[in-house]
Amino acid sequence: MNIKFSYLYRDGSNYKQYNQIVFANPNQIALEEIRAIIRNKLIEECWFIATDWNVPDMHFKEYSWDNDLDHEWHEFDFVEETNEVKTGNILIEDFIGRTPKK
């Protein structure tokens, strides 16, 4: 099973933009272990900066930056097992190994 990492950007007006990345899991790391590692690296078990985690930034590109509404933080949504095809060449263990600690 592959691993789907889902996250979103929520601006100050509560508009949301979602993204999901599917990682290969050839060593079959348990989902609960992956979830625990990710949560441990998040700010307050919820937030992260996309560029620090090397995932696509989900800010609204069609609008210019608004200091009253926009910020750097993205929100972790969920991680789950999936049969979906991986979206890149990075393994889940590489992803969770390279994400910075909070």
C-alpha to C-alpha distance for 39 and 10, rounded to whole angstroms? 18
| Per-domain boundaries in the chain | 2-98
User: For the whole model, what pTM was predicted?
Assistant: 0.90
Contact by Cβ (8 Å): 100, 52:
yes
The Cα-based distances of 78 to 20, 84, 101 in angstroms read 9, 15, 18
C-alpha to C-alpha distance for 79 and 81, rounded to whole angstroms? 7
- 34 three-state secondary structure: helix
Of 87, 50, 44, 56, give the one whose Cα is nearest residue 72: 50
pLDDT per residue as tens, the chain (102 positions):
999 999 999 988 898 999 999 999 999 999 999 999 999 999 998 999 999 999 999 988 777 777 777 888 999 999 999 999 999 899 999 999 876 665
